[in-house]
Amino acid sequence: MTSAPVIPRAAVRGTAIGVLFMAFFGTLWAGIGIGGLQGAGMPWTLIVFVASAFLLVCGIALLRSAKRLPAGMTPEDDWRGKRIWKWFGIVFGLEGAMIGAASGICGATDHFELFFPIMAIIVGAHFFPLAPLFQVRLYYGTGALLCLLGAATLLFVPEEASYDGHQIVVWWTVVGFGSALILWGTGLFVWLNGIRWLRKTGPLSK
């Protein structure tokens, strides 16, 4: 009889944290999209709330399920985990510094309308080192889509337009909702991967 594979608690916990990050930052991007609608975005607020709440619940449930798993950590695993989170902090810090610099430059040159598309490119770029770091190949696609969205918005989308009697900032709306969908979609796939791990190791069947 073949025993179920043992999935370390830290692996599922890290997956759950990834889902929560995608839920949180996806919500922030959706807020940018709603802001771009300049008062015409109220119907979208409920949709954003439901999507965010769903991923938040999924992430918390995965985090709770991780507690049932064995620690399964050797000293080498512990060292590797600390190294991963150390480099994550470095990548995250560099991303924040670049976003801050972009905000300052766009504001100083009186072109703040460029900021959110540029920020999408920066956020997308930060996923490329995270993919090998966390061994999640999906992050390559997430990063590429965010970079493509930001660049395509700047090159091919009109900055402003009229919608339902409102003048909206199309750049913010497109990049905001587009980035939210990309991050929520990534969070959903990461969550499903965590669920597959739990099914293999057994806690969901108990």
Q: Outline where the chain has alpha helix (H).
A: 9-36, 42-66, 75-108, 115-134, 138-156, 170-201
pTM for the full model?
0.89
Digit-coded pLDDT (tens) for 145-188 = 999 999 999 999 999 888 767 788 999 999 999 999 999 999 99
Long-range contacts, stretch 109-114, CB < 8 angstroms, 24+ apart: 113/159, 113/169, 113/171, 113/172, 114/154, 114/171
> Which single residue is written with the structure tokens 């796939």?
189
- Residue 124 predicted with pLDDT over 90: yes
Cα radius of gyration (the chain)? 19
Which range among 5-14, 89-98, 158-167 shows the weakest confidence by mean pLDDT? 5-14
Q: Residue 184 has what pLDDT?
A: 97
